[in-house]
Amino acid sequence: MPALALAHRVTRVTPSMTLAIAAKAKAMKAEGLPVCSFSAGEPDFDTPDHIKAAAKAALDQGKTRYGPAAGEPALRQAIANKLQRENGLRYGPENVIVTNGGKHSLYGLIMALIEAGDEVIIPAPYWVSYPEMVTLAGGTPVIVPTTAEQNYRITPEQLRQAITPKTKLFVLNSPSNPTGMVYSPAEIQALAEVIVEADIWVVSDEIYEKILYDGATHLSVGAVSAAAFERTIISNGFAKGYSMTGWRVGYLAGPVELIKAVSTIQSHSTSNVCTFAQYGAIAALEGPQDCIDTMGRAFAERRQVIIDRCRRISGLSCGEPEGAFYLYIDIQPLGLSSLEFCTRLIDEKYVAAIPGIAFGAEGTIRLSYATDMDTILEGMDRLESFVNAL
Ligand code: GLU
């Protein structure tokens, strides 16, 4: 065997910790261990029946062939309609590409836009894959730390200060994974002003837009003004809102030239997204939306329980997530690194959580409450006994 000299780009990144810990929890469960998993953000609900029925019908109709690399025209149109109807963004189907999940929409964008010398501003705590994708593309992630005191929101001043002549892209994620914070419309407007003034691109990761609590609202940065719209790229998908994680259908929307470039990359890498899955996605957008409310009510109930249980544990503190389905917990008073905390928690108590270090924020952990109430109650009991014994 020749010496394995891996490409430099891949040696500079690490595997996704969210996926690694979720896989470890699943493997332990398969071995028969009583695992409570708060790891991956994966709704435990089944995909709604009408969505599954549409995919099954597509299979029966022979939608089993290659399709256009940029996606089925009917789905691109349905997405453009949705962005117009729900988000106030004037896109046509030519502004949309269907991707292999929301993650892949971001990957395609970064591959098409970022190269050596480009800086990408990423507020921390951030979702694990943002900086790694930038590194894979040869760009430089510029991490801007935020604190619990500022509710993990980057301020317009912080954004302004992080911008240099090399800045090409700003990554905005609201509702946020991992913190659950949601920028208010006024805050989005203020960030949009900085983006326009500096003339940089912004990618708005809106994958959690439908999961909101206590009257929080979602404003897409592209809807703020014509100037903001020109600089906005939207990333979204069906996994979280419609409980379609394994379907791998997401999308990117933006200027036609960019969409064409991402489509070129896709044509040489993945070709089209699974054809019949795309018909399920059309049904998700165009069918009844009551599944969103049903799941939203369950998330809200679980959220309240997990917040209350967390606040009972001395040494832990948390805010109240306004969106998504993550509880972000400060563990600093306990004096363990986040990795040590989570490793011991899973090994000793069979409770899976994600260490804050994966999100660029030591001294914290993330619990996904997109899981059933029994798991939440049992898992929080074990977390409490783990912390009390430290
Ligand atoms: N986005 C989810 C999470 O953060 C799923 C895993 C992943 O893609 O990172 O848990």
Contact between 122 and 144 under an 8 Å Cβ cutoff? The reply is yes
Nearest atom in ligand 1 to 40's CA: 10
Pocket test for ligand 1, best of 24, 39, 128, 206 (most atoms within 8 A of CB): 128
Task: Indicate whether 1 pLDDT > 90.
Answer: no
**Quick one: pLDDT at residue 69?**
97
Nearest atom in ligand 1 to 101's CA: 8
**Quick one: pLDDT at residue 252?**
98
Task: Indicate whether 51 pLDDT > 90.
Answer: yes
What is the arithmetic mean of pLDDT over 238-242? Answer: 97
Nearest atom in ligand 1 to 178's CA: 4
pLDDT one-digit tens code per residue, 346-360 = 999 999 999 999 999
Task: Indicate whether 28 pLDDT > 90.
Answer: yes
Per DSSP, 65 falls in state S
**Quick one: pLDDT at residue 291?**
95
| Cα–Cα distance for residue pair 390/30, rounded to 1 Å | 29
CA of 32 to the centre of ligand 1 (A): 24
| Cα–Cα distance for residue pair 336/99, rounded to 1 Å | 39
* Distant-in-sequence, close-in-space partners of 20: CB < 8 Å, separation ≥ 6: none
CA of 381 to the centre of ligand 1 (A): 24
CA of 198 to the centre of ligand 1 (A): 31
Please report, for residues 41, 172, 312, 344, the alpha-carbon distance to residue 352 in angstroms, rounded to integers and kept in the order given: 12, 27, 19, 10
Q: Give the orientation angle of helix 290-311 with respect to helix 373-388, to 10 degrees.
A: 20
CA of 2 to the centre of ligand 1 (A): 35
Task: Indicate whether 150 pLDDT > 90.
Answer: yes
pLDDT one-digit tens code per residue, 309-320 = 999 999 999 999
Average pLDDT, the chain: 97
Nearest atom in ligand 1 to 103's CA: 8
Residue 372: pLDDT band (50, 70, 90) is very high
What is the arithmetic mean of pLDDT over 96-117? Answer: 98
Pocket test for ligand 1, best of 18, 105, 354, 369 (most atoms within 8 A of CB): 18
Ligand 1 pocket at CB < 6 A:
16, 18-19, 40-41, 103, 127-129, 177
What are 357's two structure tokens? Answer: 């270090």
Task: Indicate whether 139 pLDDT > 90.
Answer: yes
pLDDT one-digit tens code per residue, 246-301 = 999 999 999 999 999 999 999 999 999 999 999 999 999 999 999 999 999 999 99
For the chain, domains (ranges, CATH) are 8-47+290-389 (3.90.1150.10), 55-286 (3.40.640.10)
**Quick one: pLDDT at residue 310?**
98
Residue (of 320, 373, 374, 381) closest to 345 by Cα position? 381
Distance of CA 389 to the CA centre of its chain: 34
| Cα–Cα distance for residue pair 39/99, rounded to 1 Å | 24
Task: Take atom 2 of ligand 1 and give the residue whose Cα is closest.
Answer: 41
Nearest atom in ligand 1 to 245's CA: 5
Nearest atom in ligand 1 to 41's CA: 10
